[in-house]
Every structure is written in C-alpha cells, then in structure tokens.
Chains A and B, each alone.
Chain A
Amino acid sequence: MSIFINKETRLIVQGITGKEGSFHANSCKEYGTNLVGGVTPKKGGQTILDVPVFNTVKEAVAEVKPNVSMIFVPAKFAANAIIEAADSGIELIVCITEGIPVYDMINAKKAVKLNGVRLIGPNCPGLISPNEAKAGIMPSSIHKKGSIGIISRSGTLTYEAVYQLTKLGLGQSTCIGIGGDPIIGTSFIDVLKEFENDNQTQAICMIGEIGGSAEEEAAEYIKENITKPVVSFITGMSAPKGKRMGHAGAIISGNKGSAASKIEALTAAGVTVCKNPADIGTIIQEVLSK
C-alpha cells in the first residue's frame, strides 16, 4: 500500500475555479484521482471539470464526502482556507500555496493540531502515489509505481530524483513534498514513520535543504526507529550564510542549519548521503542491491 492517498481517496480542491486550481485539479483527475468537488466562496452551484463547486468546505463535506482537500487559494487567504478545512472534517489537507505569512501559519497550525488532522505543506508540490492517486502539481509522466518512498522539502529537485529513479527502472510507493516554509504541517519524521510501516516501501529517499533543524531531528529518529535503508541528499552545500535561498525556510542563520551539520547528523545515523545530486538514483540502486 502507498501512504496517505490511494484509489479510495476522495479529493476536493479549494480554489478550483482559479487558473492554477482548475489546471491542477484537471491534471489530478486525468491521473485517475477521484476528484469529487471544489470550493470557491460565492461560486457555489457551478460545475467545473464535471464536478460541483461549493461555497464552503462544510457544504462539500455534507454533499460529496471528501477526505482530502488540496488548497490553491491565494497566500492572503490560504491560512484561513486551511483552518476552514481543518474545522470541517477533512482528514488530509494539502496546501500548495506559496508565500503565506508566518504568523498566519502559527494560527493555522494550531487549528490543524486541535482537530487532529494532517496538513502537508504549505509551499509544497503535494504528493503522488503512482498508479493510485495524485494530490499535487508534479509532472505525472515521470513517476512509476514501485518500492521507493520519497520525502522532500523541495519541488523540482524531487522531480529530478524521481526521474533518475524511473530511468533506472526503480518505481516509487509515494512521493511527498513537505514544503519549504518555516512552519509546515507534516515533518520528515511523520513521513518516515509511515514509510517504515508501509509494506510497499522498501527504501526511503529523503531530500533536505539548508535552514532549520528538521534533518537533524530526522536523523535522530532514523537511528532509533527506521529499519529500512535511507538515502539522503542535502541541497545548499555551497549557499552562503544569512541569504534566503528562495524558500522562506532555506536560510543559514548563525551556525544553525548548514548542510555540513545535517550531513554529519545523517551519516552518524547510518544514512547513505549523496554528495552529488546527479547520483541520487544510482546510489539508491546500489543500496538496494546490497
């Protein structure tokens, strides 16, 4: 089994009538995901991509019983969209939106915790379980069903890793982008735990980047709890201190958050760390053949 999403998933899209929202809702639907509706305030009653549009998530939940919501709402309103989904009984919220103010996210994360729901993102590419379902913006065609679980803080760098694996004939169980912001809903550890318990997943590829201490915490967790092989790449080895590298979360402040500290922690936890992003696929292949 894949993790988080599969053939049973019932997806709605918040912001489905926008340009991005409708484009990606359609792409998920074409991939075979069961898209059951969309939400855009004041646009309820319309039909788009052959599914009904509702004014609120609560109405959507009552009418079409979704369990997953993917959010494309503009950054100004996105934190409220997360809170609305969390309050309405959605089990898994995937927030693609980039640029949400930090203090808005503090409140959104509180609502998510209070309701005991799972949030992936924000500022992430979403997730895909090949041949099962997609709730994200990644190019579908590069994926192949298989046994590698992928977790990453980045978008296009994840596609790079997936593509290298697929070219080598190595498929994926689930690929998840957890997002590049300082506050995110689902951590490396949350996903590692799921992959460890997932029968389909035989090896894990974890792609981290500079900033924060999520990779160091993941390393501690891996040492104690993960029995499956883990291969990792940390991007930003050559990034200078104090400069924000695109992602709001990717900044080395003081001596915290450097690639060197992350690589050291992961290596000490028994993780195989790639030095060259061109070799992610071949190193996973080597690790699997051992």
Chain B
Amino acid sequence: MKIHEYQAKEIFKQYGINVPNSILCEKLEDIEKCVQSIGTPCVIKAQVYSGARGKSGGVKIAQNKENALKYASEILSMVLVSPQAGMKKVNKILIENAVDIQKELYMSFTFDRTNEAVTFIISEQGGMDIEETAVKNPEKIFKQVIYDTFYPMETIEKLGLSSDISEKTAKAAEALYKLVIEKDALLAEINPLVITKQNEIMALDAKLNFDDNALFRHEDILLMKDEKEENPLELQAQKLGLNYIKLDGTIGCMVNGAGLAMATMDIIKLAGKEAANFLDVGGGASSEKIENAFKLLISDKNLEAVFINIFGGILRCDFLAEGVKNAIANLKIECPVIVRMEGTNKEAGADILNNSGLKFTVVKDLNEAIEVIRKL
C-alpha cells in the first residue's frame, strides 16, 4: 500500500526524523491562510501517488507570497501527467518551508528478494533518480544488506562526511530502519535527505510503501488509504475480495489462479488482441462471488468480448456456471462471452450454461480459445 508524502512525513516525525515545517491544503479558499502560516520562501508540492512530480510541474518553489499564491492555486487545480502513473487529478498540496541546502543525500531501505533481507542504500548523489545514478556513477552508491543487527556507521563513513554530520545521518538511518521493521514497510525512501546550512539532517521528500499482507496489524496505516488515488474498478474489486487490475485492452477475462490468469492474458495476446484486465477470482469462489466478479468485469466500457477460463480444482465448474448465468440474466450484455471450463464438475457446469437460454461460445481447450478470439 502506498501513502502520500505528507502522511509519510507525519510518520517520520513520530520516529524523530526531521522534516521541514509544512501544512496540507485541500481547498483553493484555504491557500492564502496556509501560505501565511508557513511564510516565504516556500515549496508547493502536489500530493499524488506518483513519482517524477517535479518533471510534470507538480513541485514549485516560491520566493514571495505573490508567487506562492499563484503556484498553489495552479497546482491544486491541475491534472498531472506522469510517465509513471498516467493522468492524476491533484486534490491536495503540501506547502512547505524552503530549507537552505548545503548538500543533498539519498537514503533508502528496501526489501531485497535475492538476499531475502532488508537492504540499506545511501548515496551522496541525492535529488537524482537513483536508477540513473546506479548506471552512471555506481561507485557513488553504497549498499548494506541487513541480516542481523543494523550498524549504519559501517556504510555512512564511506561518504566522507564530517563526524558530526555522519552521526546525525546514522541517527536518521536508525530511526528509519526502526520504522521499516515496526510498520512493515517494504520501501522507505528519502530523496533528497539534505544537510542544511545549519548542519542539520532533514528529509525533504518521503516515500513509504507497506506490505499489504501486514496491514492487519497496522490500523493507523490503513486509515491513511486515499481512495481517490485508486482506480475505481480496482477499488471496487478490493472491496469484493477480488484480485483485479485494469489494463488497456479489449478482451475482458475472468480466471481462477494468478498464474493461469497471466497465461490467459498471454493467450489473448497470441490471438492478436490485448487483455482488458487481470482478474483472479481465487480458489474457493462461490457463485455469488463469480456473479460480482462478472458484473465488475463488464462494467468496463471498452470490451469487445469476455473470455472465462477456469480450471476447476477447489472452485467447482457448476458454481462458476451458476454465477455467470445469474450475472448475465440480470444484465444486458452485448459482447460475445467465450467460456472454457475444465476440471471439477465440468459436465454439470456445461449443462447449466447450455440450458440457460443465453448465448455462449464454449471452447474445449486453449488453442480453440485462441482461434475464436482471433476471429472476433
């Protein structure tokens, strides 16, 4: 789960990591009051779940009050176009005290799959895209895999900072690591982490991603979820307990199991089309859940056809057929529905579909499915 920068900074404060003085603003009429309370120079930052805000005009520095008001109202009413996240309407801005910067660092903790451990990364090339630095100046990036106890100084001393600054940086690293472990963050990134002219260490940006599977023990984090930032269909799917991801194609698909769902998308591609979504209804779906899944699927307006691909194991084909039949009976569906069912109770499932009086194209295997989809 992602959260906003301003929310991440609130958590930073709880852990004793310095952040600039700031205020969140959600309404145009509040801008003047907010700017007044922070003063100038200040930084206006769009709060959206997306990186590269600076490049898309979502971050601006204002030297005086006049500019601050102008930038704030511009950013609060803009639609950001970012290469990472597409179109994003800005609903919130953070107005932040501008800091006198001496040097910009990069600091992060990520879960590293290869080592199956948390990795600490620090670089003196802050403010830049870290993947770019990794390519151009790999010697400027220092990594430390944390298998047991975390000793940040071991790595921080490689940056060649003064001992006072090194100690303050290590203290920030220890605080951030504590946050990572206590809150189940799979990514915690501060870019830039700055050394101010007053020789303080301060987080100018803040990015936290949490382990969805651990949210049951972090009610405080769950409350931070901003539903406006999620795709509405994906949000609805989450509420129904379905694993759904909106994609750009025209063939809607409903599958049981994540691996088979991806393979089904691949099959659609082999047939010369693109999948409109990824949808895994899971192993033990009831006919009611199938009905909900099907309704969700066809609420996508770009559909050319729907392809249902089920390998019944725990999920019985007759439950599936019942759910699909009920969904279609209650809705007006104009596009063709192609069904491939295999496994547990497939005969009973086929009977339900064939006796429903509704029109389906039932295919016997995946190769036949490819042929049918190709001819659409």
Using CB atoms and an 8 Å cutoff, list the residues of chain A in contact with chain B. 20, 75-76, 99-104, 106, 109, 137-139, 142, 152-160, 163, 180, 182-183, 207, 209-210, 212-213, 233, 235-240, 242-250, 254, 275-279
Contacts and interface: CB of A to CB of B under 8 A. Distances in A.
Contacts of A142: 343
A75 B213 CA distance: 8
Contacts of A182: 111, 113, 116
Interface string B118-144: 000000000000010000000000000
Contacts of A276: 266-267, 270, 366-367, 370
Contacts, number: 152
A102 B268 contact: no
A37 B311 CA distance: 30
A277 B284 CA distance: 24
List 5 A-B pairs, minimum CB-CB distance, nearest first: A154-B259, A246-B258, A156-B257, A278-B366, A157-B259
B233 interface: no
Nearest to A242: B84
Contacts of A240: 247
Contacts of A235: 259-260, 262-263, 266
Contact of B258 (A101, A180, A242): A180
Contacts of B174: none
Contacts of B268: 238
Given A156-B260, A249-B113, 12 more contacts: A100-B213, A139-B344, A153-B259, A154-B257, A236-B265, A238-B262, A238-B266, A238-B275, A245-B262, A246-B257, A277-B267, A278-B365
Contact of A109 (B116, B184, B186, B270): B116
B243 A246 contact: yes
A106 B116 contact: yes
Contact of A156 (B266, B313, B370): B313
7 contacts: A138-B313, A139-B314, A152-B259, A159-B311, A236-B266, A249-B113, A277-B366
Contact of B259 (A106, A139, A209, A275): A209
A277 B283 contact: no
Interface in B303-326: 311-314
A103 B214 contact: yes
Interface string B179-213: 00100101000000000000000000000000111
Contact of A137 (B262, B313, B342): B313
B106 interface: no
A236 B366 CA distance: 16
Interface residues on B, range: 35 or more
A210 B262 contact: yes
B214 A157 contact: no
A154 B365 CA distance: 19
B343 A243 contact: no
B265 A238 contact: yes
A207 B259 contact: yes
Contact of B263 (A160, A180, A249): A160
A101 B245 CA distance: 21
Given A154-B260, A245-B278, A246-B280, A101 B184 contact: yes
Contacts of A243: 245, 278
Contact of B312 (A75, A104, A139, A244): A139
A250 B258 contact: yes
Interface in B131-175: 131
A154 B184 contact: no
Contacts of B229: none
A142 B311 CA distance: 11
Contacts of B270: 275-276
B263 A248 contact: no
B257 A155 contact: yes
B114 interface: yes
B262 A106 contact: no
B261 A246 contact: yes
Given A238-B274, A240-B247, A276-B267, A163 B342 contact: yes
A99 B214 CA distance: 8
A47 B290 CA distance: 35
Nearest to B246: A243
A240 B366 CA distance: 22
Contacts of A139: 312-314, 343-344
B287 interface: no
A269 to B, nearest CB: 19
B108 interface: no
Interface string B346-376: 0000000000000000000111011000000
A137 B283 contact: yes
A212 B115 CA distance: 11
Contacts of A152: 259
Interface in B238-270: 243, 245, 247, 255-263, 265-270
Most buried by A among B247, B258, B266: B258
Given A182-B113, A237-B269, A277-B266, A247 B186 contact: no
Given A236-B266, A254-B131, A247 B259 contact: yes
B216 A180 contact: no
B275 A103 contact: no
B244 to A, nearest CB: 10
B278 A246 contact: yes
B329 interface: no
A76 B215 CA distance: 10
Contacts of A207: 259
B117 interface: yes
Nearest to B313: A139
Contact of A247 (B113, B258, B274, B312): B258
